[in-house]
């Protein structure tokens, strides 16, 4: 059984060095599907997500049509939440658009806001199913400069 401290301070997720938009999409999609779900369930089904979204190939995901979405929404290898699958397609499209708009590097977009609060506010506007905690997770895992989890939570998140 987890101690009180373990429940309050779960192990931090591993950080990555993103090599392109596919990595950003994968981490974002995990944040989207973890919202309201057990981390264990999401992690157990993650290989199904990786297969179903073609290794998070951002171009392929952005081009998914209704038929592809329907097929994935019926796949028991993933969490079959159609709205979150549709959100993933939208988010892939926005990543492509924002990278192009910000000089070919999504990091330029992420670092254009001046502070964490402004970044979170804009990410929530640009992407679907990205709340404060999901955005923090996305930024943290992709190596962006964020405060410690305790400091983030002390700001009212």
CA pair distance 1, 156, nearest whole angstrom: 28
Which CATH topology does 19-143 take?
Endonuclease III; domain 1 (1.10.340)
Structure confidence at residue 8 (pLDDT): 45
| 97: number of Cβ within 10 Å | 13
pLDDT tens across the length of the chain (157 residues)? 333 333 344 577 899 999 999 999 999 999 999 988 888 999 999 999 999 999 999 999 999 999 999 999 999 999 999 999 999 999 999 999 999 999 999 999 999 999 999 999 999 999 999 999 999 999 999 999 999 999 999 987 6
Structure confidence at residue 110 (pLDDT): 97
Tokens of 102: 């910000």
Give the start-to-end residue ranges of the domains of the chain: 19-143
Structure confidence at residue 38 (pLDDT): 87
Proportion of the chain in helix, strand, coil states, percent, rounded to 5 = 65, 0, 35
Contact 61, 54 (CB under 8 A): yes
């Amino acid at each position: 059984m987890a101690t009180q401290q373990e429940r309050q301070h779960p192990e931090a997720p591993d950080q990555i060095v993103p090599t392109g938009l596919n990595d950003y999409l994968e981490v974002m999609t995990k944040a989207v599907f973890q919202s309201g779900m057990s981390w264990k369930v999401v992690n157990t089904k993650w290989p199904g997500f990786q297969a179903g979204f073609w290794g998070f190939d951002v171009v392929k995901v952005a081009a998914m049509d209704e038929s592809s979405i329907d097929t994935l929404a019926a796949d028991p290898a993933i969490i079959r939440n159609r709205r979150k699958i549709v959100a993933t397609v939208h988010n892939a499209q926005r990543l492509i658009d924002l990278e192009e708009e910000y000089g070919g590097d999504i990091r330029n977009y992420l670092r254009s806001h001046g502070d964490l609060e402004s970044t979170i506010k804009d990410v929530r506007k640009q992407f679907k199913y990205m709340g404060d905690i999901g955005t923090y997770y996305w930024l943290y895992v992709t190596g962006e400069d964020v405060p410690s989890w305790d400091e983030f939570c002390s700001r009212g998140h």
